[in-house]
Amino acid sequence: MSVDGWLSLMAVAFLLGYIVGHRHGRVEGFRDGAVFAPIEMRRESLERGRCTICGTGTKKQADQHAGQSGEAADASRRSSPDRE
């Protein structure tokens, strides 16, 4: 067999290996994504405090901190003796 024959055979073998590996990688990646996606969505929802799908959930942390400091100021005003 000549050098041209060997090079052609190696090129075809490489191309077939690439096609088979690419297809196998896509199938395996899709399966891994289907398993990992719900876990990742749950983690993101818990970190944000809101549902990533519909957007419902608790208030943002900045709103909660502002509300807490305002409540503390109201409580101190109510308990001050010179307010009467």
Reading the block at residue 3, the tokens are 């050098």
- Distance in angstroms (rounded) separating the CA atoms of residues 84 and 79: 10
pLDDT at residue 65, as a whole number: 56
Each of the 84 residues of the chain gets a pLDDT tens digit; together they read 799 999 999 999 999 999 999 999 999 999 999 999 999 999 988 888 888 888 887 665 555 555 555 555 555 555 545 544
Tokens 């943002």 — which residue? 60
- Distance in angstroms (rounded) separating the CA atoms of residues 23 and 50: 37
